[in-house]
Amino acid sequence: MAPALAQSYRCVVADARTRAALPAATVQAAGRTLRTDEAGRFELPARPAQLQLSHVGYQPRQWQPAPAADTLWLTPQAVALPNVRVRAQPRQLVWRAPGKARWPYDAFANSLTPTEQVAMLYRPADATRSYRIRAVRLRLGSRAPQGPADLLRDLRRFPEGRLQVQLLAPGPDGAPATALLPASWEITPALSEEHEGGWLRLPVADAELRLPAAGVFIVANGLTGSAAETFVRNRTLLYRKHNPTAAPEFDPQKLKGSAPSTRVNSYVEVQPAATEATRLVLRHEFPALAQLTAPSFGACYAWAYRAGRWQSVVAYYQDLKSRFPKREFTPYNYELELEVEEL
């Protein structure tokens, strides 16, 4: 009877974690040294008693081959590099308040005139994580058209006033209190022309600005057209087609219950420096912030500065509801967003 022919031994070397084949792995057996091909395969004339496997970046291993063809696994080698700190790439996030634009309620926004301030509160999404503040994003609101000529204008751009934006940490009462940055952002009429769909991005210069555990307020307030102008007062005049700024003041006390509606113009009176003369600026020419209808009062994070103090929109409406129980109030959020890195 003829002796049986020895069968060749074929095998594949692969990564034990990814299951990917390892080309160029070194195989030592029976005094021979060879390397795996591009598919991680190698072949020997016969099954050896023992194999020595090695590959750059992997733990070397001795292997006792099985009788049949097999897959041999190598484990990646963890190397401790001196004075090198390895950290995960920070995750980029954009925090925005929930809500949607409802027609016609959110189609047009109210202007922020000098002394008017609003804010959005953002708290850490995960109290166990740290966050680095990268930028503020805001959306300019579309001001309501005042006539046929306005239908062709970009009403997110504003011709008068300025918009100041800053980051404030909450105080003991939970209201905006302490500035996180030494300087604020200022949006001028010229800068408003650079918006994209109403959006402007304001980067944070301080690369290590961390989000406080109590959260942060994005505060926006209206300013006069320049630091050389001073806000005097808000004025409401009766509508007059010709020479409207010379119209008499509107006096609501003179209205009778059966009187028809009265048309008025709202102005902001400002005084330039080094002069006693003042000028009137239409209220709707000042900047506005876009807003969204919040899904519920529990998802409303807007605040406003009223009567010399900060108050959340939720608390303000609760007070109104106690005085006018039959009225319905709709919560809202401003389109003020926060870009952060999750560390």
Q: Which has the closest alpha carbon to 333: 109, 103, 132, 116? A: 109
> Is residue 2's pLDDT more than 50?
no
Predicted local distance difference test score (pLDDT) of residue 75: 86
Q: Average of pLDDT values for 338-343?
A: 92
Whole-angstrom distance, CA of residue 91 vs CA of residue 182: 26
Q: Where residue 88 falls among pLDDT bands split at 50, 70, 90?
A: low
* CA dist 118 → 86, 295, 331 (Å): 42, 19, 14
Instruction: Determine if the pTM surpasses 0.85.
Output: no
Element (H, E) at 314: helix 313-323
Per-residue DSSP letter, 196: B
Sketch out the chain's domains with CATH numbers.
9-74 (2.60.40.1120), 91-227+286-342 (no CATH), 229-253+260-284 (no CATH)
Q: Distance (Å, rounded) from C-alpha 133 to C-alpha 175?
A: 20
CA distance 93 to 134: 10
How far is Cα 112 from Cα 126, in angstroms, rounded to an integer? 33
Q: Which two tokens stand for residue 328?
A: 């319905």
219-272 residue pLDDT tens = 999 999 999 999 999 999 998 888 888 888 888 777 665 556 788 889 999 999
pLDDT of residue 16: 82
Element (H, E) at 191: helix 189-192
DSSP 155: T
* Whole-angstrom distance, CA of residue 11 vs CA of residue 9: 7
Longest distance between any two alpha carbons in the chain, whole Å = 128
pLDDT of residue 231: 96
pLDDT tens digits, one per residue of 5-63: 557 888 888 888 888 888 988 988 888 888 899 888 988 888 888 888 888 888 888 88
